[in-house]
Homo-oligomer: A and B are copies of this chain.
Amino acid sequence: MRYLGLLETYKDMLPVTDKTPMLTLHEGNTPLIRAENLSNELDLDIYFKYEGLNPTGSFKDRGMVMAVAKAMEEGSRTIMCASTGNTSAAAAAYAARGGLNCIVLIPNNNIALGKLAQAIIYGAKVIAIEGNFDRALEIVREITAKHPITLVNSVNPYRIEGQKTAAFEVSDQLGKAPDYLAIPVGNAGNISAYWKGFKEYYEQGKISSLPKMVGFEAEGAMAIVKGEPIAEPETIATAIRIGNPASWKTAVAAAEESGGQINYVTDEEILHAYKTIAGREGIFAEPASAASIAGVMKLKREGVFRGGETVVCVLTGHGLKDPNIAIKSVNAEPVVVEDSEAAVMEAIRKLEGEA
């Protein structure tokens, strides 16, 4: 059977009507990969939900397909967001697919065009304002409130609806809910969406238990952990570098209701986890994604687990989203030798010895 995307697969669980276009880039249906080595090492049953294998390379596709389909249903011709990262890429891709215009508003300071290249190749039009990111989001809200242009930032409620499907998939793939769901926390929409999804599946009797939700902010952006917004958030994990999460309350509720927690991990822990999952499990995820497994390692040290629990770690984006971090975080300089079999074999023996 050919997989036909999230709206088709989960239409009974989503705000899909007869008039909703069945927009799809075949988002979702992402792998749940067992962490063979880390499971042994941590005495847990760990799985990665590898959201980097969504079409634009991040979990944002789940919410965006729903938001853009509803924009089309409502007759919108243009969508708009303030974003310099994964959100703009997803918005641009689905706008292209649906034949809509996509406007991306950004602050005109230190823009890394590399981050925006993906949105631009999908045809998004980028406007930079002489102001900061908050001001950009404010203008997006003002404009979309008055004009027939649809806001697709995370305040669009359809985003959470689409994102909750990841909880359905995890449950279907495992055949049950995991004991723990570990997830990076930036804007905090994703932990809220997973919790909503698990609760809905539980209410429908499709799972017989609920996971404990454990969310991890980066230390330099740990607004929820600190209990106050961070004016200038800083972390290597750019996708969760957010000082005032939009879904703060629902994230806290998810942690509390489920008996989980919102905790934090340092950049050092994130980088260690980032390199570990690539080098030990063969999975390349963007740094923010590694916060989930870094958090599990932390909770293990803190004695939160008894042993044997099933833990699903959400890997939110593909490592190819941020290749510069990869280059910086490893020693990329090759060993140089002469072009003889003997010289190469000697180098191999040395490298094997180090491994």
Contact B323 A323 (CB under 8 A): yes
Q: A326 contacts which chain B residues (CB < 8 A)? A: 117-118, 120-121
A133: min CB distance to chain B, Å = 11
Contact of A280 among B80, B96, B101, B117 (CB under 8 A): B96
Contact B127 A344 (CB under 8 A): yes
A32: min CB distance to chain B, Å = 6
Question: A135 CA to B341 CA in the complex, in Å?
Answer: 10
Question: A175 CA to B279 CA in the complex, in Å?
Answer: 38
Interface of A is mostly: mixed
Copies in the complex: 2
Decide: A355 near B101, CB < 8 A? Known: A275-B121, A332-B116: yes
Specify the chain B residue showing the minimal Cβ separation from A36: B97
Contact A113 B332 (CB under 8 A): yes
Question: A326 CA to B113 CA in the complex, in Å?
Answer: 10
Tally of chain A residues near chain B (CB < 8 A): 94
Specify the chain B residue showing the minimal Cβ separation from A80: B348
A143: min CB distance to chain B, Å = 6
- A269 at interface by CB-CB < 8 Å: no
Question: A319 CA to B92 CA in the complex, in Å?
Answer: 14
Q: A108 contacts which chain B residues (CB < 8 A)? A: 334, 336
Specify the chain B residue showing the minimal Cβ separation from A351: B125
Which A294-344 residues have C-beta < 8 A from chain B?
Answer: 318-321, 323, 326-327, 329-332, 334-341, 343-344
Question: A143 CA to B339 CA in the complex, in Å?
Answer: 12
Contact of A345 among B3, B26, B136, B147 (CB under 8 A): B147
Q: A29 contacts which chain B residues (CB < 8 A)? A: 29, 31
Stretch at the interface among A180-188, A226-234, A281-289: A281-289
List residues of A whose CB falls within 8 A of some B CB: 2-3, 24-26, 29, 31-33, 36-37, 50, 53-57, 77-78, 80, 93-97, 99, 101, 103, 105-106, 108, 111, 113-114, 116-118, 120-123, 125-131, 135-136, 139, 142-143, 147, 149, 172-175, 275, 278-284, 318-321, 323, 326-327, 329-332, 334-341, 343-345, 347-348, 351-352, 355
